[in-house]
Structure 1
């Protein structure tokens, strides 16, 4: 354990060593999400709208999986940093159990409430019917997705990010290959896109399980005689639940934005679809930052367990700089070629008139989003994920949705539909302010108490004085 690279490798090199494989795999993930929508858009604009309106519910399911994995990852890093291999094994096994529970919950909710979810957004039968079919296939066959995410995080949490890249890459490639076959050759339409997605997830899951059993020597996954350890489950969700809530808030925000756009924007469903296109495209910007975030969490958690404040702070500072650079580059691309980006989705002229200004205005919020995400990773690693949750609530529900509602209604009255998109830059500025306040609190109450390379902590020095 003492020779683990998380505790000895130079920080800058370590961040990229941990993050690059995750970033690559997430970019592949973003690619196949876009390819999914590109193929669906060839069916019809309403087919694309059906998939777009399914996004909040589908994202909630993914959020449950990733949020649980965040808690597992942080506890795993602490256990490994403290040299407690037995506890690391227990955390991993309980995490896999929770992944199965998440799958069952998602399937039940999709079967019971899928129809209600779509009918509250639109009354167009084609969109409702195709949306329900797509969502139910994705949720009722989501075991592969839940377990793939968990097994990948176990690889990442033990410093084997390159292996997780292979597993996610396999799932994405399988999905991309099968998409046109199921959608066009078998003439399954939107349902074909869902079937291709879940098959890809099961393929990635199988490889990730194999990698953990054969290549991950820091963990020993023994399922015989397993019983849930409710204390560990509680600790996992003490860290991971805020991440789940953050994604849930994002799903609520997306649902509300779709309702606002369909109600007050002159383009109605087309505006909601354009908003969905933005989310598909922004994944190419946010996924690398989230990949960076996923690589940083185990580094900070490990060095917190190893009581090394210098490495913790250097990791946080460098990740904030790298994340901000990625986001600024993304904003520049959105401003330079928005029309080209939208055209990928077989966009009509009406769609372009809505989507192009949306991409340019919303992308202004990227400038501050990178730092917020990077600082949020330190909250997760140090067991203060609730701060990330509060920031997300303030950004999306306290600021973004109400401001969007006001701007949409005012824009409707003056004939300026583009006004609604300014809710994003405004909300992101507020988010940065709240995030900075929370980070200062975390530094004073947690980070400052950690010894600096074996030296006394600030608290200990103050006591000596």
Structure 2
């Protein structure tokens, strides 16, 4: 089979080959997140605050789509490693069907709940109105985003990382190009304001999905979508959901965290909520490239696990950890050296820049140690162990940080919330290292 190189090539070269295209595409995606927020911030600081408040709901959609995609990816990789091509094709086909259903359902739910959700965090009618104007457009593209994610995970499972890179980058570049054009009305286009940002996001996702379809038709892959396989198979669906549900919860937990921290920080002023939103935009520029390494790692671990190459599984984990550490080291240096410059991308208010600079210097102390949690969680998902991965994320995003942030905010004010980040990362790293090695020893 064409995927046998996954258990034959030297691990570092193989991991770089699988990961670098995804790291590049994730960097472009990170750039899109910053550029998108940069242009929205040019509308007004209230517009950026509205975007920050909508982000948790938007992230919920991402969480379900990406999480279920991880389940599809892991199951396909396992069956390819076990040389069962039919099961791999069934997983891809049923994944596409279920992904479409998820997109429709989430679109309806999010459109219904967004107004009361925004009202929980602010009484400012302008911020609520801006949030509704943005979200009611971006949520309409949920199905296209679902198709994009299913295609992405299937192509990754068969090792076509270059195709994923091209499609993801193309969608992001379309988004970056359309942002100023649709927000400010450049050339023949009307000025749409915050609706333009939402439309640019949706059209970028749609473009990526269409490009994946073109690649699938023009350069067929070994795993096929077949109408005969669309009928749900209970055991196969159970495998995908047993990985996908914990992975979705992993992805959704940051939304719960952001919402909880917004409640705590709102008591100190809207500037702190703004800074938290900016931080999460900036940290995507760090964690998305790290996620690119994890995306390259998952199919390798899944394939080698299916092929019973357990010694390679551990080596892939160790090599991935080193690469993630290198990415986190770069982020730490940037946040320590130029925090004011980074915050200045989104606001010119001196007081807000001061608050943001202090926040970045404190939060970045946990970047390096978070490499252990990020790598362990991704490796467990690649092995099909969704529940242990979820336990790591629960520690990182809810069980430790939320009560700790609340307690430290009472003792130290808003800066206590920033300190909760690095303390949580240190504790979770110890827990995740123990969980991963305990599970691997049981293989």
With normalisation by structure 2, the TM-score equals 0.97
**Alignment partners' CA distance in 1, 2:255 and 2:181:** 30
Matched position secondary structure for 1:141? helix
**Alignment partners' CA distance in 1, 2:70 and 2:4:** 20
After TM superposition, the structure 1 = structure 2 runs for residues 231-310 of structure 1, keeping only pairs within 5 Å, are 231-263=235-267, 265=268, 268-310=269-311
Match of 1:219 in 2: 223
Query: How far 1:24 moved relative to its partner?
Result: 0.8
Higher RCO (C-alpha 8 Å, min separation 6): 2
- 2:59 is aligned with 1:69: no
- Which of 413, 418, 429 aligns to 2:415? It is 418
Alignment deviations for residues 166-205 of structure 1 (CA, whole Å, 9 cap, x no partner):
1011111111111111111122111110001000100000
Conserved 8 A contact 2:377-2:393: no
- 2:367 is aligned with 1:363: no
**Alignment partners' CA distance in 2, 1:375 and 1:395:** 12
Matched position secondary structure for 2:227? coil
Query: How far 1:227 moved relative to its partner?
Result: 1.6
Alignment deviations for residues 92-117 of structure 1 (CA, whole Å, 9 cap, x no partner):
01111121111112111122111011
Alignment deviations for residues 20-49 of structure 1 (CA, whole Å, 9 cap, x no partner):
111111111111111110000000000000
Match of 2:35 in 1: 35
After TM superposition, the structure 1 = structure 2 runs for residues 192-211 of structure 1, keeping only pairs within 5 Å, are 192-211=196-215
Query: How far 1:248 moved relative to its partner?
Result: 1.9
**Alignment partners' CA distance in 2, 1:76 and 1:216:** 16
Query: How far 1:65 moved relative to its partner?
Result: 0.7
Against the structure 1 CA distance between its residues 382 and 431, is the aligned structure 2 distance closer, same or farther, given a 3 Å change threshold?
same
- Which of 427, 431, 443 aligns to 2:424? It is 427
Indicate the RMSD between aligned Cα atoms, in angstroms.
Answer: 1.3
Against the structure 1 CA distance between its residues 226 and 309, is the aligned structure 2 distance closer, same or farther, given a 3 Å change threshold?
closer
Match of 2:173 in 1: 173
Match of 1:347 in 2: 348
Match of 1:136 in 2: 136
Alignment deviations for residues 424-461 of structure 1 (CA, whole Å, 9 cap, x no partner):
01111111111012112112211xxxxxxxxxxxxxxx
Against the structure 1 CA distance between its residues 48 and 374, is the aligned structure 2 distance closer, same or farther, given a 3 Å change threshold?
same
**Alignment partners' CA distance in 1, 2:355 and 2:111:** 34
**Alignment partners' CA distance in 2, 1:248 and 1:157:** 23
- Structure 1 or 2, whichever has the larger Rg, is 1
User: How many matched pairs?
Assistant: 439
- 2:385 is aligned with 1:381: no
Query: How far 1:160 moved relative to its partner?
Result: 0.5
Match of 2:24 in 1: 24
Match of 1:450 in 2: none
Alignment deviations for residues 403-439 of structure 1 (CA, whole Å, 9 cap, x no partner):
1111212234xxxx32321000111111111101211
- 2:78 is aligned with 1:78: yes
List structure 1 segments (4+ residues) > 3 angstroms apart after TM superposition. Answer: none
**Alignment partners' CA distance in 1, 2:74 and 2:31:** 28
- 2:439 is aligned with 1:442: yes
Alignment deviations for residues 206-254 of structure 1 (CA, whole Å, 9 cap, x no partner):
0112223332421121236732223212110101111111122211111
Against the structure 1 CA distance between its residues 6 and 258, is the aligned structure 2 distance closer, same or farther, given a 3 Å change threshold?
same
Conserved 8 A contact 1:107-1:136: no
Out of 246-255 and 293-302, give the one that drifted further: 246-255
**Alignment partners' CA distance in 2, 1:201 and 1:223:** 24
**Alignment partners' CA distance in 1, 2:274 and 2:106:** 24
Match of 1:393 in 2: 394
Conserved 8 A contact 1:110-1:140: no
Matched position secondary structure for 1:142? helix
With normalisation by structure 1, the TM-score equals 0.92
Conserved 8 A contact 1:72-1:95: yes
Match of 1:95 in 2: 95
**Alignment partners' CA distance in 2, 1:296 and 1:68:** 17
Out of 229-238 and 25-34, give the one that drifted further: 229-238
